[in-house]
Chain A
Amino acid sequence: MFSFKNVYIRAILVFLGVLSVIFWSPWLVLIPMILLALLFRSWEVLLLGLAMDFMWLSGASIFPLPLFTLTALILVWGLEPFRNQLLV
């Protein structure tokens, strides 16, 4: 359901995620990613994971594995059934 409160929370979490990708510890990136994935059907999680790997992972290849992108995919799609329960 749409509410400004939800929009604010989502925007703040995304903002914190972006700051974490650039300035803070990698573990701090996971917190907004997990919260976003739990609370919303959030496509931003995928972009945060991708940004993390594009920034810090060397070489344009499959290996080493892009762990944050994979984590983002698991969070977004793996939590889908659970989120469906929460959102309903």
Chain B
Amino acid sequence: MNSYRHNNNKGRGILIFVTIIVVLLFAIDLFSRGSIRALVRTGATGMWEIGRETGDTIFGSGFFSSRRSLAQKNQALQDELSQLKVRSAAFEVLKTENESLRRIVSIVEEEDGITAPVVSSFKTSPYGTFMIGAGTEDGVQKGDLVIAGDPKFGGFVIGRVDDTDAYISLVKSIFAPGEITDAVVRDIGVSLEGRGGGQARGEIPREALVSEGDVIVSASVGARAIGIVGEVGKDSGEASQRLYVSLPISLSAIKFVYVVDK
């Protein structure tokens, strides 16, 4: 009984000690402007790279050949489909937003940007964030826009740099859960609420003519494209119709992004 009480008190003591450490770490990080976060992120991205390379090695070794080949074919087809969707959406931009696209292209050609690798998973963050392998040392600043796809054809803005370390930046997705973005589709203003995973939802007037594949543009990101209409839902008796927006690019297929000034 005494032994149990001793262990019980010891366990409780460790718990109190670690709780104090956690609070202290949080306070130190707060006052040092995220120095501990930077260390954690650097370590974690290193582990993510090792994990990804290990996964590639194991699955590329032929051990899981039949399943692997099917998965590869599936992935290749998905990538091809994503690319076709991007091209289709880009041509749609050319057709429907001719004037603004000219402006966008000229902006993109004029402005400097850098290519950065994606160094984390897109699906792990509960806050709709992901990490890229470029930071303040590469000229990345808080608020910079992160573009997927070929920026010469407009690309799609997928996020905004939210936190920068020396070599790693945290990007908040445009469609992070709960994130509100004002956008325009076919000259109709729409307020989009992010749902995570590159998807968002909004409402437009019932009589508005919007169809699947229409490009969504937002002035808040320099009149660039942020997604396409995935589905339009219309219930009888409702004054509005629901707009389901998605990115035409599979997030898991994105290996590199383009970072431009805000």
Contact = CB atoms under 8 A, between A and B. Distances in A.
A58 B51 contact: no
Given A41-B15, A54-B29, A54-B36, A46 B125 contact: no
A61 B22 CA distance: 15
A58 B26 contact: no
B136 interface: no
A61 B37 CA distance: 11
Contacts of A24: 121, 123-124
Q: Name the residue in B44, B120, B123, B126 with the highest tally of chain A Cβ atoms < 10 Å from its Cβ.
A: B126
Interface size class for chain B? 35 or more
A47 interface: yes
A1 B44 CA distance: 34
A56 B22 CA distance: 17
Interface residues of A, number: 36
A57 B19 contact: no
Interface in B7-30: 7-8, 11-12, 14-15, 17-19, 22, 25-26, 29-30
B31 to A, nearest CB: 8
Q: Name the residue in A25, A46, A52, A56 with the highest tally of chain B Cβ atoms < 10 Å from its Cβ.
A: A56
Contacts of B26: 50, 66, 69
B126 A52 contact: yes
Interface of A: 1-2, 20-26, 41, 43, 46-47, 50-52, 54-62, 64, 66-69, 72-73, 76-77, 87-88
Given A57-B127, A58-B127, A67-B126, A76 B15 contact: yes
Given A41-B14, A47-B22, A55-B125, 9 more contacts: A23-B121, A24-B123, A43-B15, A50-B25, A54-B40, A55-B41, A59-B163, A69-B22, A73-B22
Interface of B: 4, 7-8, 11-12, 14-15, 17-19, 22, 25-26, 29-30, 32-34, 36-37, 40-41, 44, 47-48, 51, 120-121, 123-127, 129, 162-163, 170, 172
Contacts of B25: 50
Contact of B37 (A21, A60, A62, A88): A60
